[in-house]
Each structure stands twice: as structure tokens, then as C-alpha cells.
Homo-oligomer: A and B are copies of this chain.
Amino acid sequence: MTTAAHRPATLEDVARVAGVSRSTASRVIAGTGFASPAARKQVTAAVDQLGYVPNPAARALVRGGGVRLVVAVLGTSAAVLDDPYVHQVVGAAARVCTPAGVGVALYRLPFGDPRSLDQLDGDRSVCGVILVNTTEHLLAAVPRSLRGRVVSIGVGSATVPSFDVDNAAGSEEVLRHLYASGRRRIAMVTGPRWLPCAQRPVQTYRRLMAEAGLPERILPGDFRAARGRTAAGEALRRWPDIDAIYAISDDTALGVIAGLRDAGARVPGDVAVAGFDDIPLAGMTAPALTTASHPVGRIAVAAATALLDGRPAAPVTLFPSALVARASA
């Protein structure tokens, strides 16, 4: 029974109760170095008698390990930090970091300020950085001393490993599905132009349209539903014969469907709509959304784990994306 001491126990306390030295206690608790079975037993007993929990801060201090994993999001405004996608990354990272005694921090990297990473570089409490919404420009600005402690969700570089969904393959599958169901006038609502990882689906779209001899119809977007809604109107106006819209995200797609409805077009009757992400609500809307899966949580977990392990990660880790065919396309 832990008589929850008013002061949390320290290693010193454990050592005293176990009748050994701090060093020995440290060894058995950290699981490093030798210790006799006897000592081991004493220490373990003392530990749970005292309810001892090692202090990660002290540990990090002496080992130079760091206590925070930073999720750094590139964005023009602080609003990016309120994004559900970002929150999902933070949540997943926090979950894996917790057992390691590491906390998660959430930074915004101001757009066009390559030196914004220096702050993280000089912070000894930072054990790693997960870049979100990276650009090549930012990647090039990663300080030397940060190398090996930075990964990217999205595009990577020679020094920054990338963890991302295979959105090229996912997009291709969605697009082929559209084609297979007879659609021939397919528009795409994209992500922000400056975001490299959002360009891959666009390239796939272009290639497939070219291969099929179909016209290329691209509308810039921003991942958000509101933009999808306006984009749908634009699409209808510019290309009255349109019969499908592929949106870069489910949020966008849902907005597109709303915009189509606003304009009196039926989905999928007149225009088929497909998204990308497979958010939890995708199966609940009317019509249910056809999309491609996007395991954000697993990606974030992998990225955080790589950082925590400290082992050099593969340059690129791609997570498969699969078509989820529902009613909208």
C-alpha cells in the first residue's frame, strides 16, 4: 500500500528503504548495468512500497535526452493550430510519448521565416520535431544540429525522413473508380499550392486525365469545407458538362456536395463526388461519401516512435491508402 507521501519519493528514498546505494537503485530501476538478484528484489520492493516514479526531467537532464517532442506546423496564421488534423497528430503523438516520460508541444512555424527552427534547435529539452505541412524551403532550413531529430509528415528530404500516406496511389484508385463508373468530365479541388505533399494527388490527376485523353479541370482549395462549397459553384459555372468532382479531403468533398446541392445538382446522379481521408463521419452523410482511407493516427504514431527510438528512420515510409466506395461516387 502506497501511503502517498506528501512529498513524492525520490531515488534517494528508494535507496534508503532498500538498503542500497543510489547507484544500485538507479541501475535496477533504469534496467541498466548489473545488480544482484537480492538487491534487485529489495529495490523493486521499495519502489512499490513508496510508489516511486522516476522524474523524467532529472533523467533527461543528465542524459541529455530532452522531455518534449515538438509538433511544428507550418502555416500563415495561428489558426492552423486549431485544425482537427493537427490535433489528431498531436493526440496520437502524445499517446506514444507518454510512457517515455515525454510531453508533446505544439508550435507554429511562421510562413517564410526559415530561422523559426533555430529556436527548437537551441532548446535542449526538445528530443525531436515532427514537421507538419512542410515545404522544400523549410526542409532546407533545418539546422544541422537538428538532423536526426526531425521527421516530416508530408514531404521529406535527404536529411529529414518522411512519413506519409501514399496519396498518389490512393488518388489513382479513386480516380479510376470514377472513370470505371462512367465519369468523363472530372474536376479536382486541390490543396494549397504551396504545400508539396498536396501536389502529388494533383500530379496523379493530371497524368490520368492525360492518359485517358480527358480535359484537365483544376480548382484550388484549402482542405476546408467552406472552400469546397464555393468551388462546387465555380465548377458548375465553368464546366456545365461536369460529371464528377474529386476533392483532396473529405471536408472539402462535403463542402462540394453542399455546394452542388445549393445549385440544384444531384449527387451522384448529376455529379459524382469523392474525397480523401475517410473521416469518421464520411459514412453518415447523405449521400455517404466515397473516399480513400488515410491513417493519420498510425502515421503520427510511427513518426513519434521513430523520434523516440532515436534510430535513423527510412527516408520514406508510405502508408497505404485504400478506396472506400460508398454512395457519392
Tell me if A28 is interfacial: C-beta within 8 Å of chain B.
no
Tell me if A129 is interfacial: C-beta within 8 Å of chain B.
no
Q: Please classify how large the interface on chain A is, using the bins under 10, 10 to 19, 20 to 34, 35 or more.
A: 35 or more
CB distance from A127 to the nearest CB of B (A): 10
Q: Closest residue to A9 on the B side, CB-wise?
A: B122
Residues 128 to 159 of chain A near chain B (Cβ within 8 Å)? 143-145
Scoring A residues 272 to 286 as 1 if CB is less than 8 Å from chain B, else 0, what string do you get?
A: 000000001101111
> Nearest 7 A-B pairs (CB), nearest first?
A103-B103, A87-B91, A94-B106, A68-B103, A53-B122, A87-B87, A53-B123
Of the residues B4, B5, B98, B107, contact of A105 by C-beta under 8 Å: B98
Q: Closest residue to A2 on the B side, CB-wise?
A: B118
Of the residues B56, B119, B257, B280, contact of A251 by C-beta under 8 Å: B280
Residues 90 to 107 of chain A near chain B (Cβ within 8 Å)? 90-92, 94-95, 97-98, 101-107
CB distance from A106 to the nearest CB of B (A): 4
Tell me if A199 is interfacial: C-beta within 8 Å of chain B.
no
Tell me if A21 is interfacial: C-beta within 8 Å of chain B.
no
